[in-house]
Chain A
Amino acid sequence: MRILIKGGRVIDPKNNIDRVTDVYLDKGVISEIGDDINYELEGLELEVIDATGKIVVPGLIDMHCHLRDPGFEYKETIETGTMSAAMGGFTSIACMPNTKPVVDNAAIITYIKEKAKEVGKVNVYPIGAITKGQKGEELAEIGEMKFAGVVAISEDGKTVKNPVLMRHALEYAGMFDTTVIAHCEDMDLVDGGCMNEGYMSTSLGLRGITRAAEEVVIARDILLSEITGVGIHIAHVSTRGGMNLVRDAKKRGVKVTCETCPHYFTLTEEAVAGYNTNAKMNPPLRTEDDVKAICEGLADGTIDAIATDHAPHHIDEKNCEFARAANGIVGFETAFGLSYTYLVKPGILTLDELIKKFTVNPAKILGLGKGSLSEDARADIMIFDTDEEYEVHVDEFKSKAKNSPYDGFKLLGKVLYTIVSGKIVVSQGILL
């Protein structure tokens, strides 16, 4: 299958490309980028995509999602999760290990990779657990998992409580050149809380979570990274204090990177009003000031990547008492539109900077060798529209889950095409 993408504005931050030109894909790789390409070779099938007025970028990379497979297939499967990812413009996604069983050995990694090959719509990269069973007691088989194909290790959803074990995890993972992703949350400080601590939690009578619960562990893990010399990636930073810790650490040369998620720069704790369980996440939605800090961190480069933390849940797990409700939201299908609308439109990020945080940067952190339109690179491409406003309808999500606080939001930046290894998966906004 040969594909010619004609007349779009092509943005490829890695190769410093930002101009109207054509992209030619052949045999699953990017064959050529150039003006007025014409390949009218007889007898060969050629699909021409008219991208006039649209933007052509490397396929998006999500370094933090939950596919729930194996074990929680009632929430999501590798098939439905990757369908959802494709709709959101993602061509590569890294899935967290909190499945059942936990991804803590080579066999489960092989299962995920095989299943993704069989039914997946996009590239799936498993992330392994740091400790066996995510129990925080003994290291998982990090070396074996690395050879089986994990792109990182993380205890996501949990913090490795014991700092000595976390230190050893960093040292050990460093030996295998494996990225370590830290979920930062001190459960003692969380103290049964279920939303941000402040006026809103007081007013709703819900137990609040102090921002210190997130920040003390960010500080700890930065220090552990510093003494071990092994890089660390901080997941879903949500507070001004967290932002400051990462910024200071970067300044003094610590090998720390971090991500945030669209909900931390588009929503505040106000969204919880009326006990809206679709606004319940971990870390919790914070305040106006934190949103401002996250935007500053995105703009000055403290935040390297935007990840979705795609966290699908069954309706019964959200349609219940707030304190009992599950954390998280469907992320894939709104992430890019939210980021474009809330970051590029108001001028917080340039389009080039935004694309970096969705492509080259996460690819670099995970060592994927992806995220660009370099010649001979796998043809992972996304094409989107910037002019036409569209409305989010959760009923139309391809994810099995519908838990999103963005139903009815009007956004810009609609994903029109998702191309994975030269294969069109989403065309004109429709999943093929």
Chain B
Amino acid sequence: MKRDLLGLKTLSADEIDSILQSAIRMKNSILNDNKKNANLQGKSVVTLFYENSTRTRTSFELAGKYLGAIVANVPVASSSVAKGENLIDTVKTLDAMATDVLVVRHSMSGAVDLIAKNVNASVINAGDGMNEHPTQALLDMLTILEKKGRIDGLKVAILGDVAHSRVARSNIYGLTKLGAKVSVGGPVTMLPPGMEKMGVSVFNSVQEAMIDADVVMNLRLQLERQRSGLFPTMREYSRFFGVDDRRIKFAKPDAIILHPGPVNRGVELTTSVVDSKNSCINEQVTNGVAVRMAVLDMLTKRSVSE
């Protein structure tokens, strides 16, 4: 049976933990300037991004290359998708080229599940609509694990536009499975219904959500949400929901600050917070490569039963 990584919702705590442990080993190898690991020698990885991305796509590409895989990127704008080919036909074509791993980002929730059902290659979800972005959550969790030494029992505040965020969903699934206490905070227009059932505490004020937090994770505010009437102006958003030097004091003094990037400086986070000593935003990027190496390695490993 082929294996996919479609989301953290369906993974067990043990599976998540083993990816994180593997990622720590991968990180050591790349930091020790040993970027020619041969685990994926002879394997092919194709990235298919239906939405723009620089960091995630590059991170997957480098992760594949560091492991010795052949990596090809399909730029959707110039592919046959632009000629109106349907999704299943496109991925079946790539599958027919003996692709081992297909890394996909798509604007519609569930699209990556659909792809996984239609190809033989292992599929990695690099973000689907508002559903999941599992490798982002894994890199966030790796960063937390490194800085705090554990995840179990920590308090994590996820702030901002939770409703439209696949990063938030994957983090909620992953963090709660590993025993963290998650609270979400933001304007009511950006918090989706039924979140309590996902095991999180919900607040309409970022201060309350941040009280005694060990980790403050701020989401990127999509500017087009203003036009949808979800908030009046950037100015008002930043005044009531932005995290600045004053508000960050509601969290624990040693709380780390995470953000999936790119940051709107002065909106969801002030520059002083982004550049503070507790900010781990650049560390997250390094960990992104390590986590993606671990995931690629895990999915291409032959299982014992084979």
A: which residues have CB within 8 A of B? Answer: 197-208, 274-275, 316, 319-324
B: which residues have CB within 8 A of A? Answer: 9, 86-88, 106, 108-111, 113-114, 128-132, 163, 166, 169, 192-195, 197-198
Partner of A208, one of B88, B131, B193, B197: B193
Which residues in A have their C-beta under 8 angstroms from that of B114? Answer: 275, 319-321
Which residues in A have their C-beta under 8 angstroms from that of B194? Answer: 198-203
**A205 x B109 contact (CB < 8 A):** yes
**With A275-B113, A321-B114 in contact, do A202 and B192 touch (Cβ < 8 Å)?**
yes
Which of A199, A204, A205, A319 has the most chain B CB atoms closer than 10 A to its own CB?
A205
Which residues in B have their C-beta under 8 angstroms from that of A321? Answer: 87, 106, 108, 110-111, 114
Cα A275 to Cα B108 with chains together (Å): 11
From B132, which residue of chain A is reached at the shortest CB distance?
Answer: A205
From A207, which residue of chain B is reached at the shortest CB distance?
Answer: B130
**A205 x B197 contact (CB < 8 A):** no
- Identify the 7 closest CB pairs spanning chains A and B, nearest first: A199-B194, A205-B131, A275-B110, A205-B130, A205-B109, A202-B192, A321-B108
Which residues in A have their C-beta under 8 angstroms from that of B106? Answer: 321
Cα A206 to Cα B113 with chains together (Å): 13
**B169 x A205 contact (CB < 8 A):** yes
Which residues in B have their C-beta under 8 angstroms from that of A205? Answer: 109-110, 128-132, 166, 169
Which residues in A have their C-beta under 8 angstroms from that of B198? Answer: 199, 202-203
Which residues in B have their C-beta under 8 angstroms from that of A274? Answer: 113
Which residues in B have their C-beta under 8 angstroms from that of A201? Answer: 192-194
**A322 x B109 contact (CB < 8 A):** yes
Partner of B197, one of A199, A204, A322, A324: A199
Cα A200 to Cα B128 with chains together (Å): 16
Which residues in A have their C-beta under 8 angstroms from that of B110? Answer: 204-206, 275, 321-323
From A200, which residue of chain B is reached at the shortest CB distance?
Answer: B194
Which residues in B have their C-beta under 8 angstroms from that of A319? Answer: 88, 114
Cα A198 to Cα B197 with chains together (Å): 10
Cα A206 to Cα B109 with chains together (Å): 6
Say how far B237's CB is from chain A's closest CB, in angstroms.
Answer: 20
Say how far A321's CB is from chain B's closest CB, in angstroms.
Answer: 4
Cα A274 to Cα B109 with chains together (Å): 10
From A316, which residue of chain B is reached at the shortest CB distance?
Answer: B86
Cα A204 to Cα B130 with chains together (Å): 8
Which of A206, A320, A321, A322 has the most chain B CB atoms closer than 10 A to its own CB?
A321
**B131 x A320 contact (CB < 8 A):** no
From B194, which residue of chain A is reached at the shortest CB distance?
Answer: A199
**B109 x A323 contact (CB < 8 A):** yes
Which residues in A have their C-beta under 8 angstroms from that of B131? Answer: 204-206
Which residues in A have their C-beta under 8 angstroms from that of B88? Answer: 319-320
Cα A403 to Cα B198 with chains together (Å): 31
Partner of B193, one of A197, A204, A324: A197
From B169, which residue of chain A is reached at the shortest CB distance?
Answer: A205
Cα A104 to Cα B194 with chains together (Å): 43
Say how far A235's CB is from chain B's closest CB, in angstroms.
Answer: 26
Cα A281 to Cα B132 with chains together (Å): 24
